[in-house]
Amino acid sequence: MATIIDGKAISAAERNNIKEETAAFVAQNGFAPGLAVIIVGENPASQVYVRNKHKACGEVGFLSRVYELPEATTQDQLNALIDELNADDAIHGILCQLPLPKHLCESEVIARISPKKDVDAFHVQNVGRIMLGDYDFLPCTPAGVMVLLRETGVEIAGKECVVLGRSNIVGKPMAMLLLQANGTVTICHSRTQNLAEVTRRADILVVAIGKAKFITGDMVKPGAVVIDVGMDRDENGKLCGDVDFASVEPIASAITPVPGGVGPMTITMLLRNTLTAARRAASDSN
pLDDT tens column, 180-227: 999 999 999 999 999 999 999 999 999 999 999 999 999 999 999 999
Residues 256 and 216 in one domain: yes
Residue 122 lies inside a defined structural domain of this protein: no
Same domain, yes or no: 177 and 257: yes
Q: Answer yes or no: do 167 and 241 share one domain.
A: yes
Confirm whether 53 is a catalytic residue: yes
Regarding whether 204 and 162 lie in a shared domain, the answer is yes
CB 242 within 8 A of CB 228: yes
pLDDT at 65 over 80: yes
pLDDT at residue 234, rounded to an integer: 87
CA proximity to 95, closest of 270, 246, 285: 270
pLDDT band at 43 (very low <50, low <70, confident <90, very high): confident
Mean pLDDT of 39-61: 93
- 94 and 179 both lie in a single domain: no
CATH of the domain at 102: 3.40.50.10860
102 is catalytic: no
Query: In the chain, what percentage of residues exceed pLDDT 70?
Result: 100
Q: Considering the entire predicted model, what is its pTM?
A: 0.94
Exactly one of 53, 117, 172, 221 is catalytic; which is it? 53
97 classed as catalytic: yes
Residue 41 forms part of a structural domain: yes
101 is a domain residue? yes
Structure confidence at residue 263 (pLDDT):
93
> Do residues 98 and 207 share a domain?
no
Domain count, the chain: 2
CA 255/CA 149 separation, integer angstroms: 10
Q: Answer yes or no: do 46 and 110 share one domain.
A: yes
Containing structural domain, residue 44? 30-114
Query: One of 97, 118, 159, 213 is an active-site residue; which one?
Result: 97
Average pLDDT over residues 244-270: 96
Asked whether residue 18 is assigned to any structural domain, the reply reads: no
Q: Which of 141, 140, 139, 120 is nearest to 130 (CA)?
A: 139
Q: Is pLDDT at 54 greater than 80 in this prediction?
A: yes
- Cα 123 to Cα 107: distance, rounded to the nearest angstrom: 9
What is the model's pLDDT at position 214? 96
Q: What is the CATH number of the domain that holds 200?
A: 3.40.50.720
Q: Is a pLDDT exceeding 80 seen at residue 286?
A: no
**Is 237 a residue whose pLDDT tops 90?**
no
Catalytic residue among 116, 117, 118, 120: 120
Regarding whether 188 and 94 lie in a shared domain, the answer is no
Are 101 and 185 part of one and the same domain? no
Distances (CA, A) of 234 to 7, 105, 228, 246: 21, 32, 15, 13
